[in-house]
Homo-oligomer: A and B are copies of this chain.
Amino acid sequence: MELALELKQVSLIGFGDGTEGASFTGMNPATGQPLEPKFFSARPEDLQRAAALARRAFPTYSNLSGKDKGAFLRRIAAAIEASAPAIIQRAHLETALPEARLQSELARTCNQLRLFAEVVEEGSWVDARIDSADPSRKPLPKPSMGSMHKPLGPVAVFGASNFPLAFSVAGGDTASALAAGNPVIVKAHPAHPGTSALVGQAVRESVQACGLPEGVFSLLFDAGVEVGVELVKHPAIKAVAFTGSFAGGTALMKLAAARREPIPCYSEMGSVNPIFVLPGALKQRGTAVAAGLQTSFTLGGGQMCTKPGLVLVPRQDGTPAFLKELGERVSTTPSQTLLTKAIADRYNSAVKGRISDANVFAEGAKVEDTAAATVQASLFVADYRDLMEHVDLAQEIFGPTTVVVGYHDRSQLLAVAEQLEGHLTATVHADESELADYADLIDILSRKAGRLILNGYPTGVEVSNAMVHGGPFPATSDGRSTSVGTQAIYRFTRLVCYQSFPDAALPDELKSTNPLGIMRMVDGDRTRKPTA
């Protein structure tokens, strides 16, 4: 496939173009200069049209076979790959993320689309359950019943700034919502409008190429928040997915809950991703942990949802060597350009605030004012008592910084774990022999985070069946779910049961012959066999 995608400057409303509302531009964070061309915010009528088209497309799209949905998702992946050089070039200009990183993010985005294609092509994901009839049951006959997951309805997706591809226009939220059978309306992140436009064109072209109804996909631009607010409030929208700040995520939660018909809002927000280093691990491989930690917290400019921002280390013989190694690595970390000047300013201001805290030792924390969004990695070192007295030490700072906190004994370690709020991840570095002694720590952490990592680092999120990228509030709005991996599809489904229907009137997934050959639960047992 060859695709020469047009850099659309207006919203994509179904197969048509949006109007020219207020204009804005992307900015090059490496220079502080605006990027050509201008883009135009959606007007209310654009949103109305996108919503009406999505509502109209839903009945057809929701009934598409898994095979056809799979072909559509694969087509999107191919269309993105066919324009990869243009997309990566633009994304690099708009985000300052290195091209190699964007290459791998693009590959990840396409793999993610193809993984969801596999899931819906195979078909068992609907968790079809069949309870057979028993006409002779007393006192009342038992009817036949079949249940399955069905799509919720049009989904609003908010692109994230920190993953311009994998958590944006055709990222995990869009892929999982489309896979479930829902039309998607994306609100593009204003920091990468050109990247959004190119990927949006790839999705729209795929809708058309697959002969799907207009409205399965639309893309809205807005430099401000009005379009997003109206999108979440629109009655046609049945769920919201967002990755970004706590302020933004909770604002959307409130809007979703305040609607006449409240809808689920999946906000993936901040997370400090604590790391607990146990005595044996520090003793055996302290410098290796220091090296891995520096790589993890500075990866992508520290702008990862899973960046470790709090590290508990025991105070023991090897601690000074660990801190020295880490300090040296941090002070020699090259400066990095963050996604936007605003993010860099917030980072510098937060780091300044932390430097001025007398109880905290700062390493490499230099703050310079430039037009570019360039910042220096920083490391803070504090004591258990400081952490307990200054809870803001455990607050997330978005960017390449972390806080190392020394603990004196096991009870302090457990006290820190017990005080944690919800996080996306929690990591333990342990010698295998000490794991049993710290089973209580792992048990506490299993109630605080969506993913527990042993002897690794939280950055690097697999897209697979067992991945959980979620966690209790305030890490996400809904700690029951995951926004990455195949289980992300269940955010956008509802259960429907058919009672006493003959095969001819049932969805294929529930027919007695099991024509799709999917795994089902029949009278309590998992099987691919037809029902008796």
Write the residues of chain A forming the contact surface with B, with a CB cutoff of 8 angstroms: 58-59, 62-63, 104, 124, 129-131, 139-140, 142-143, 145-147, 150, 152-153, 253-254, 257, 261-262, 264, 421, 432, 435-436, 439, 442-444, 446-447, 449-456, 460, 462, 464-468, 470, 472-474, 477-482, 487, 493-502, 504-505, 519, 521, 523-524, 526
Given A59-B443, A143-B456, A435-B504, A497 contacting B467 (CB threshold 8 A): yes
Chain B contacts of A464 at CB under 8 A? 131, 145
16 inter-chain pairs at a CB distance below 8 angstroms, sorted by A residue, are A63-B443, A131-B464, A131-B466, A145-B466, A147-B466, A261-B421, A264-B480, A436-B505, A451-B496, A451-B499, A454-B500, A454-B501, A454-B505, A479-B494, A480-B493, A482-B497
Q: In whole angstroms, what is the CA distance A228 to B262 when docked?
A: 21
Q: How far is the CB of A454 from chain B (nearest CB, A)?
A: 5
A450 touches B497 (CB 8 A): yes
Q: Cα distance A442–B124 when bound, in Å?
A: 23
Instruction: Give the chain B neighbours of A444 by CB distance below 8 A.
Output: 59
Q: Which of B131, B262, B502 contacts A462 (CB 8 A)?
A: B131
Instruction: Give the number of copies in the complex.
Output: 2
* Chain B contacts for A257, CB-based, 8 A: 253-254, 257, 262
Residues A130 and B494 in contact, CB atoms below 8 Å apart: no
For residue A13, give the distance in angstroms from its CB to the closest CB of chain B: 23
Q: Which residues of B contact A130 (CB under 8 A)?
A: 466
Q: Which of B436, B452, B498, B521 contacts A496 (CB 8 A)?
A: B452
Across the interface, do A452 and B499 meet the contact criterion of CB distance under 8 Å? yes
A153 and B504 form a contact (CB under 8 A):
no
- Residues A147 and B494 in contact, CB atoms below 8 Å apart: no
Other than the given A104-B139, A436-B504, A439-B505, 19 more pairs (CB < 8 A) read A59-B444, A59-B447, A62-B447, A124-B526, A131-B462, A131-B467, A145-B466, A253-B257, A262-B477, A435-B502, A451-B497, A451-B499, A452-B499, A470-B494, A480-B493, A480-B495, A482-B497, A519-B526, A526-B526
Give A22 Cβ to nearest chain B Cβ, in Å: 32
Taking the closest CB of chain B, its distance from the CB of A480, in whole angstroms, is 5
* CB neighbours of A456 from chain B (8 A): 143, 499-500
The winner among A150, A152, A153, A464 for most chain B CB atoms within 10 A is A464
List the B residue with the shortest CB-CB distance to A257.
B257
A446–B524 touching, CB < 8 Å: no
- A496 in contact with B129 (CB, 8 Å): no
Residues of B within 8 A of A447 (CB): 58-59, 62, 150, 153
